[in-house]
A and B are shown apart, each in its own frame.
Chain A
Amino acid sequence: MSGNTGSITASKISSFVLLVVFITLALSLVAIIFAAAIVGGFVSAGNDMTGAYVLLALGVLGVAICTYVLAETRRRLLKLKIVVPPVMTTIECRKCGIKTVRDFQRGDYIFKETEPCQKCSGMMLITAIYREVKEKEKERFPF
């Protein structure tokens, strides 16, 4: 049984925040559609197009804010994920030096003698257990 990898995720988004975001989004879309209808002449508003432009600006602003809030919430959720990287076990034959690397299995420990070597029938020994973490490129500091 290896099963040493996995992630822990917390997936809690406030339903109130979601409600507010979706109401704002709906209102913004209505504003944009309404503005488009005025500009396109489907709705009569006289010669003054000011109201239509204000509606359009408000609609675009609303959509932008909602997109930003949703993106932020998603980013936060991604941050809530804890990734446990896989742990590897290195097994070496003390006699012929053959080396194999496999996933960690429960019961493995450093300096444990495992099965006989397939090449020379000498005993295989666990010489290392470690996890490899791929780090993002580090920020360079001048100090």
Chain B
Amino acid sequence: MLLATQTKLGQLIGTSDWTVVLNVLFYVIFIVFIFYGQRIQMYVMLREVEVSLYKLKFIKEEGRKVAIETIREIGKPQADPTDKVDRFLEYFTIGPQNLDPAGIVSKLEHILDVRDTRFKDEVKSMAPASDETQVNNLENTLEAASALNFIYKVIRHYYLLGKKTMSLYVIMQIQMILPLVMREAEAYASALKAFAYGQPIGDGAGALVAARLMYGYEPRKIAKDCVVATVPYEGRTAFVIKAEGPGGNVGKPGDAIKEVIEENEGKIAMVVMIDAALKLEGEELGEVAEGVGAAIGGPGVDQYKIEESLLKYHIAINAVVIKEDVGDAVSPLRKEEFDSTDKALERVKQVVVEKTKEGDKVIIAGIGNTIGIGQ
């Protein structure tokens, strides 16, 4: 058939010489694709990764620049903070050994506490003029810049490894997950500005619901970086807990819930947790859903503590979540998410009224980063 097409083409353009030329050309292309098809495919994929890598490098540099500029602007350092920022971007945390998992939660908590203290000390030394709220925001900005730096390095590693080994499978793996990685990097890029300016982010939707519940009531400090307010509602007493704002901070809601339970000698009828949850594609942004269990993300230390406290006194736990995707969770709060906090608030009130009776005590915990949200 190929030959017939070429002959027809030859007849069409009127010379037999052309037929020969086209014949040879078709065979050459055919042979090249037989032997080098995979290699050509690899080059195409490498090129695709390379384009994304340029973009990642640009975003990473932008992150570093934003972090340095914000530190200079807010922290008024005596010396140039660039070296310290570069050192911060390379920090790592080694998780505890899990060959013998007994007691691993306390080990992990200890490591996370040490990391947090270390980060805060570093930020304070970089930005001596900043207050507590600004230190928290700067820490979040640096963590976002550090995440971008890490993403860039991992993608670069696989790109160079693929180029060096010319292994289709190494290149293919990175090329296949690239759209998801880029989405995450873009989310961190917009998070940088949010953290630098102290704007509320999508992850803070739970904390915002708690803040709206406790507004007008005197909050008191409880556990590390957490506040609680006693709010009367429909004959019940609600202990509303959230991380202390408006600095970027998630607090230790596990300790806070445990403390409130212990203060009340376990006489708590129910715990309601409100948090932002990852939505599946196809679900609406800001959709509110209800369920049971400890609605809290992170490394798992707080979830473990909450579950332990609840088990000790056999307290029921309900959860209300606001659906959002990974990009929205770390980007400035969207209008849809803000509006959905009204719906979440109504659901929480409904759960409290339906599942408890007058005179009961309930804990309502708004989970998430409280950046840009006061109380």
Q: B-contacting residues of A (Cβ < 8 Å)? A: 4, 6, 8-10, 12, 48, 50, 53-54, 76, 80, 82, 84, 87, 104, 106-112, 128-133, 141, 143
CB pair B186 A82 closer than 8 Å: yes
For A48, the chain B residues whose CB sits under 8 A away are 14
Q: Is B190 an interface position by the 8 A CB rule?
A: yes
Q: Which residues of B contact A106 (CB under 8 A)?
A: 197-198
Pick the 9 closest A-B CB pairs, nearest first. Answer: A109-B246, A111-B374, A10-B58, A130-B338, A12-B54, A131-B332, A10-B55, A130-B335, A110-B373
A137 to chain B, nearest CB (A): 15
Contact B199 A104 (CB under 8 A): yes
B337 in contact with A109 (CB, 8 Å): no
B206 at the interface (CB under 8 A from A): no
CB–CB A4/B208 < 8 A: no
Write the chain A residue with the least CB distance to B372. A109
- The size of the chain B interface, using a CB distance under 8 A, is 37
Q: A63 to chain B: closest CB distance in Å?
A: 20
The smallest C-beta distance from B243 to any residue of chain A, in angstroms, reads 13
Q: Which residues of B contact A10 (CB under 8 A)?
A: 54-55, 57-59
B1 interfacial contact with A, CB 8 Å? no
Please give me the residue from chain A that is nearest to B56 by CB atom. Answer: A10
* A104 and B197 within 8 A (CB): yes
- What's the nearest-Cβ distance from chain A to residue B51, in Å? 7
* Closest residue of B by beta carbon distance from A113: B374
Question: Once the chains bind, are B13 and A87 in contact (CB under 8 Å)?
Answer: no
Whether B347 is near chain A, meaning CB under 8 Å from some CB there, is: no
The answer on a CB contact under 8 Å between B372 and A8 is no
List A contacts of B215 (CB < 8 A).
111
Extra A-B contacts (13), CB below 8 Å, given A82-B190, A87-B199, A112-B374: A12-B54, A50-B14, A50-B15, A87-B197, A108-B198, A108-B199, A109-B198, A109-B246, A110-B373, A128-B338, A129-B332, A130-B337, A131-B334
In the complex, A12 Cα to B52 Cα: how many Å?
Answer: 11
Task: Encode contact with A along B314-342: 1 for CB under 8 Å, 0 otherwise.
Answer: 00000000000000000111110110000
B189 adjacent to chain A (CB < 8 Å): yes
B307 to chain A, nearest CB (A): 30
For A50, the chain B residues whose CB sits under 8 A away are 13-15
Tell me if B249 is interfacial: C-beta within 8 Å of chain A.
Answer: no
Q: Is B103 an interface residue (CB 8 A)?
A: no
Q: Can you sample 20 A-B contacts with CB below 8 Å?
A: A4-B332, A8-B58, A9-B58, A50-B14, A82-B186, A82-B189, A87-B199, A109-B373, A110-B211, A110-B372, A111-B211, A111-B375, A112-B246, A128-B338, A129-B332, A129-B333, A130-B335, A131-B333, A131-B334, A143-B282
